[in-house]
């Protein structure tokens, strides 16, 4: 499977997960949904800093995975095909190869705060677009949000590759842990229709 198809498959899995386990967010109007995602990004910026300051690699990897999940959810909200956008020049790369290429393009170095700086900058821009939407400022909201999300997922993929993290496997593990917390998980997984 090409990395473009792999990313689209992950987006589809995220959409199905959100529809089943986060109905409260999926039903929000678009502007509110985007603000919710921007708040997640703000939270992850703080989590990245705390993990680096504390030398907590497990928390760092969990935050990186959660950041990837939100990038998928934002892409779905914006009807953004991440695979197509990220692999236009070489659609046959693996996720790891794509991340390594992005690390080179983005100038990812050994600075432990590199991801935090990238994440802070682009999540702040996304928050500005959400705020401007409230005021109906003269901005290109959709294209700006699209670019912010592309920048965020690029930084996440680059960081994951630099740390040799299998983001797809981490994604599956994290999503499953979230799903298992739902009291209706067994029904959802069994496809039970809710009849009494």
pLDDT digit string (tens) for 27-66? 998 889 999 999 999 999 999 999 999 999 999 999 999 9
- Give the model's pLDDT for residue 194: 58
- Residue 170: inside a domain: yes
Q: How far apart are CA 97 and CA 92, in angstroms?
A: 9
Residue 154 lies in a domain: yes
Per the structure, the complete domain to which residue 37 belongs is given by: 3-182
- In the chain, the N- to C-terminal Cα span, in Å, equals 41
Has residue 190 been placed in a domain?
no
pLDDT score of 139 more than 70: no
Q: Is residue 72 part of a domain?
A: yes
> Does residue 113 sit within a domain?
yes
Q: Is residue 196's pLDDT more than 70?
A: no
| For residues 183-192, average pLDDT | 85
Residue 115 CB-density burial (10 A; 0-12 exposed, 13-18 middle, 19+ buried) = buried
Whether 193 maps to a domain, the answer reads: no
Residue 189 lies in a domain: no
What's the pLDDT band for 175 if we cut at 50, 70, 90?
Answer: very high
The answer to the question of residue 192 being in a domain is: no
Quick one: CA dihedral 102, 121, 82, 144, positive or negative? negative
Mean pLDDT over each residue of the chain, to the nearest integer: 91
């Amino acid at each position: 499977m090409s990395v473009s198809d792999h990313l689209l498959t992950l987006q589809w899995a995220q959409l199905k997960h959100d529809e089943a386990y986060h109905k409260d967010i999926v039903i929000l109007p678009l502007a509110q949904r985007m603000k919710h995602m921007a708040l997640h990004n703000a939270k992850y910026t703080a989590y990245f800093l705390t993990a680096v300051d504390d030398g907590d690699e497990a928390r760092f990897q969990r935050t990186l995975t959660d950041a990837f999940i939100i990038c998928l959810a934002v892409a779905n909200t914006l009807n953004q095909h991440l695979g197509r956008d990220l692999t236009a020049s070489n659609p046959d790369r693996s996720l790891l190869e794509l991340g390594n290429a992005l690390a080179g393009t983005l100038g990812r170095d050994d600075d432990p705060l590199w991801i935090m700086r990238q994440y802070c900058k682009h999540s702040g821009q996304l928050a500005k677009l959400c705020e401007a939407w409230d005021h109906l400022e003269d901005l290109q909201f959709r294209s700006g949000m699209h670019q912010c999300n592309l920048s965020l997922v690029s930084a996440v993929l680059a960081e994951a590759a630099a740390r040799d993290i299998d983001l797809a496997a981490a994604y599956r593990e994290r999503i499953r842990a979230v799903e298992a917390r739902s009291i209706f998980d067994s029904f959802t997984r069994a496809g039970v229709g809710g009849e009494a």
